[in-house]
Amino acid sequence: MSQLRVGVIGTGMMGCEHLRNLIGIPEVTITAISDIHEQQREWAKHTLKDSVSPIATFADHQDLLNSGLIDAVLVATPNFTHKALLDDIFETDIPVMVEKPMCTTVADCISIVHAQEKRSAITWVGLEYRYMAPVAGLLRQLHSGAVGNLKMMSIREHRFPFLVKVDNWNRFSQNTGGTLVEKCCHFFDLMNLAVGSRPVRVLASGGQDVNHLDEIYDAGPSDILDNAYVITEYANGVRTMLDLSMFAEGGQHEQEITVVGDTGKIEAFIPGNGKIFLGQRASRSVHEIEVPVDPDVTHMGFHFGASYIECKRFVDAVLSNKAPEVTVADGLWSVVIGAAAHKSIDERRPVLISEYDL
Ligand SMILES: NC(=O)c1ccc[n+]([C@@H]2O[C@H](COP(=O)([O-])OP(=O)(O)OC[C@H]3O[C@@H](n4cnc5c(N)ncnc54)[C@H](O)[C@@H]3O)[C@@H](O)[C@H]2O)c1
């Protein structure tokens, strides 16, 4: 197979970003989309405009899966729908890329990991921060030993509040898994990747102190956390910290990532300006390393080209029968830390990862 027919389930903000990514991948023909809302299906058609031949549109994802029109599928629906959709997709042999978080609970993630063991088609989890140029550059330097043995890592995300989503699904922790699962699974994935070990203990403090406090919906008041500190200890002795504020849109960088080893330190900023910074203790010097965006990226989207790269690599993996780079195990472990952090906040105590049946 040299050409892949791809369908997209869920054509909101992220589904349409993926449609634009897919348009820019020569090996892809977008053949079908599915969304429960007609307005969103229309938005998808508008997004595709003249880029592709007429596509099939379905209100029900089962009709898309049964259509015989797709060789692979992308899922970009609200978090709380991922588990049921994956269960249905796993009844087929269609390869899938599912948006993060893989599921909203640890138990559901474990169930997906077990189900994937019985399946030959790949499942790729949309943890695309790994592919942002400054992050990929930082990980390359770290893993090449540029700062010796990693000891500490911190990620600061100071940004704007959650955007408005279709049906306001993201206003409730029940739907998202909680902020530390919903969006911070990206950062816990990076920590897991950098540290190369499993988390053993999580201590967090956080709350909903500024955002959405006056938003009342039919289902009740919005209950999403908007700031937190999360400390994670790993089995190999490395410790990490997340500093999240979602009422801090005035900063210079949306994310600041620092890794400190026993011989030096690397700093990366997102979006950054094509550079990361490598400091050495011995010389007390800091020098810049160029980390340009891959020139093959045809669509930058809202994620600085990273979601294009993940789509491209997913397509390449399917076409060449390769294993996914971002696995369901990665999906699980990125959710575990977020879930443990919420538990730590709720129960006001450190949470051992051994409390989960992993
Ligand atoms: N990778 C990233 O950085 C990133 C960024 C934003 C969102 N996301 C993830 O993408 C997913 C979608 O988020 P979004 O921001 O696009 O939300 P959105 O509300 O803009 O879009 C969700 C779409 O899914 C549709 N939908 C809901 N249930 C459906 C179902 N059962 N079948 C088909 N369509 C259905 C909705 O009608 C809507 O059009 C979420 O899991 C979110 O966490 C990832």
Domains and CATH numbers, the chain: 4-129+309-327 (3.40.50.720), 130-294+333-355 (3.30.360.10)
Q: What's the mean pLDDT when you consider all of the chain?
A: 96
Give the residue, 242 or 294, on which the prediction is more confident.
242
Distance 313 CA to ligand 1 centre (A): 21
- For the four alpha carbons of 346, 349, 351 and 355, in that order, the dihedral sign comes to negative
As to burial, measured by CB atoms within 10 angstroms (0-12 exposed, 13-18 middle, 19+ buried), residue 161 is middle
Q: What is the pLDDT of residue 322?
A: 97
98 CA from centroid of ligand 1 (Å) = 10
Q: What is the spatial distance between Cα 150 and Cα 195, in angstroms, rounded to a whole number?
A: 7
Tell me phi and psi for residue 136, to 5 degrees. Answer: -60, -40
The pLDDT value recorded for residue 184 is 98
The string of pLDDT tens digits covering residues 26-72 is 999 999 999 999 999 999 999 998 776 789 999 999 999 999 999 99
Residue of 17, 20, 45, 99 to mutate, ligand 1, most atoms within 8 A of C-beta: 99
Q: What DSSP element (H or E) covers 287? A: strand 285-290
CB distance 189 to 334 below 8 Å: yes
- What atom of ligand 1 comes closest to residue 17's alpha carbon? 16
Is pLDDT of 299 > 90? Answer: no
* Residue carrying the six token digits 């990980």: 139
Angle between helices 306-319 and 13-23 (to 10 degrees): 60
Cβ(247)–Cβ(210) below 8 Å = yes
Ligand 1 site, residue 121, Cβ cutoff 6 A: no
Question: Over the Cα atoms of the chain, what is R_g?
Answer: 20
Residue 295, Cβ density class (10 Å: 0-12 exposed, 13-18 middle, ≥19 buried): exposed
pLDDT at 52: 65
- Put simply, whether the predicted model's pTM sits higher than 0.85 gets the answer yes
Which residues share a beta bridge with 164? Answer: none
Written as six digits, the tokens of 27 are 């090996």
Among 278, 289, 234, 260, residue whose Cα is nearest residue 155:
260
pLDDT tens digits along 310-334: 999 999 999 999 999 999 999 999 9
CA atoms of 52 and 6, how far apart (whole Å)? 12
Q: How far is 42 from 55, CA to CA, in rounded Å?
A: 11
CA 288 to chain centroid, in Å, comes to 27
Q: Which atom of ligand 1 is nearest to the CA of 127?
A: 1
Of 13, 43, 88, 186, the residue with max ligand 1 atoms within 8 A of its CB, to mutate for a pocket test, comes to 13
